[in-house]
């Protein structure tokens, strides 16, 4: 039996769809590229301009304000170690990419999560879409991103946003659904509008779970940004890729260690904010 005759040309359909989008929406992709480039370059300039010493102090103070003295000390030592590895500029470039991608992913994911929590039909529709987004190999997202936006930081950020959105949607929906129905009904009985119930009751009570989702978004964004170094996104991902292509174990280890330090810092910051939200809701 000739199984080739039964082949479904899904790849051909996808290629045709990508070609159609490229031809008909070039203006849209150019606009998105311009906005993202402005945001990425602006944040990177802000992070690099003060110099390593001043920026390390700022990052340590932020760690102290949201965490503990031990965490602040770790932040100062960790980022100082990145400077000594000569990976500071690459680390700040990676941090700017993560911040932009995470912000966009959260701005898209939170409203979708709220809508999924309030509309069961939309929840049933979006759940398999999120499953698809999470299980698709991350490298696959880079292919259409390169076609639409070319080589550079923008396709890396776009692919990262798509890859990092699912946790924001899932955990926002989960947090809102876990809010006690009796509390919601009591707020409605006192005359609160649906908008006030959402903003003043449900979201504050669901904030710890939402913060956990934001934490996962940032971690996924960081992992994807490193992979995006392959397509010219720069940062620590480019250093890791350079180490791989040159079989330079030392360079790869230094860049990888810098990624770990940045990841721990971002993880502890968001975890500390989530713990604060939990303490507030428990009062």
pTM of the entire structure?
A: 0.86
Q: What's the confidence (pLDDT) of residue 190?
A: 72
- pLDDT for the residue 194: 76
User: Poorest-confidence range of 37-41, 199-203, 213-217, 259-263?
Assistant: 199-203
Q: What is the DSSP string of 169-206?
A: HHHHHHHHHTS-HHHHHHHHHTT--HHHHIIIIIHHHH
pLDDT band at 134, cuts 50/70/90? confident
Q: Is residue 44 part of a domain?
A: yes
Q: Tell me whether residue 15 is in a domain.
A: no
CATH number of the structural domain spanning residue 182:
1.10.3720.10
In terms of Cα–Cα distance, which of 140, 99, 104 is closest to 11?
A: 140
Tokens of 80: 């100082």
pLDDT at 108: 92
Domain around 99: 25-282
Going 75 to 78 to 80 to 83, the CA torsion angle's sign is: negative
Does 11 reside within a domain?
no
pLDDT at 246: 82
Domain count, the chain: 1
pLDDT tens digits for 196-227? 878 788 888 888 888 888 888 988 888 887 78
Q: Rounded distance, CA 130 to CA 95, Å? A: 25
DSSP state of 151: S
> Between the CA of residue 237 and those of 80, 253, 256, 278, what are the distances in Å?
19, 12, 9, 34
- Say if 33 falls within a structural domain: yes
- pLDDT of res. 50: 83
């Amino acid at each position: 039996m000739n199984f080739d005759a039964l082949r479904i040309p899904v790849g051909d359909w996808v290629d045709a769809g990508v070609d159609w989008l490229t031809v008909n929406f070039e203006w849209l992709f150019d606009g998105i590229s311009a906005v993202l480039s402005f945001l990425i370059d602006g944040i990177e300039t802000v992070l690099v301009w003060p110099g390593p010493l001043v920026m390390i102090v700022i990052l340590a103070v932020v760690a102290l304000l949201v965490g503990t003295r031990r965490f602040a000390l770790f932040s100062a030592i960790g980022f100082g170690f990145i400077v000594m590895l000569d990976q500071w500029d690459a680390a700040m470039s990676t941090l700017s990419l993560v911040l932009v991608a995470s912000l966009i992913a959260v701005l898209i994911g939170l409203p979708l999560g709220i809508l999924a929590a309030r509309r069961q039909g939309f929840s049933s529709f979006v759940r398999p879409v999120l499953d698809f987004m999470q299980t698709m190999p991350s490298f696959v997202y880079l292919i259409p991103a390169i076609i639409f936006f070319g080589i550079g930081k923008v396709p890396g950020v776009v692919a990262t946003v798509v890859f990092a959105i699912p946790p924001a949607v899932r955990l926002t929906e989960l947090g809102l659904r876990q809010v006690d129905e009796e509390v919601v009904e009591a707020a409605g009985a006192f005359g609160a509008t649906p908008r006030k119930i959402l903003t003043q009751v449900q979201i504050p009570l669901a904030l710890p779970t939402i913060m956990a989702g934001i934490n996962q978004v940032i971690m996924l964004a960081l992992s994807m940004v490193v992979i995006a170094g392959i397509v010219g996104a720069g940062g620590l991902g480019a250093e890791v890729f350079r180490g791989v292509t040159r079989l330079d174990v030392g360079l790869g280890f230094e860049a990888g260690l810098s990624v770990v330090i940045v990841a721990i810092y971002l993880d502890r910051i968001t975890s500390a904010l989530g713990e604060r939200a939990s303490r507030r809701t428990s009062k």
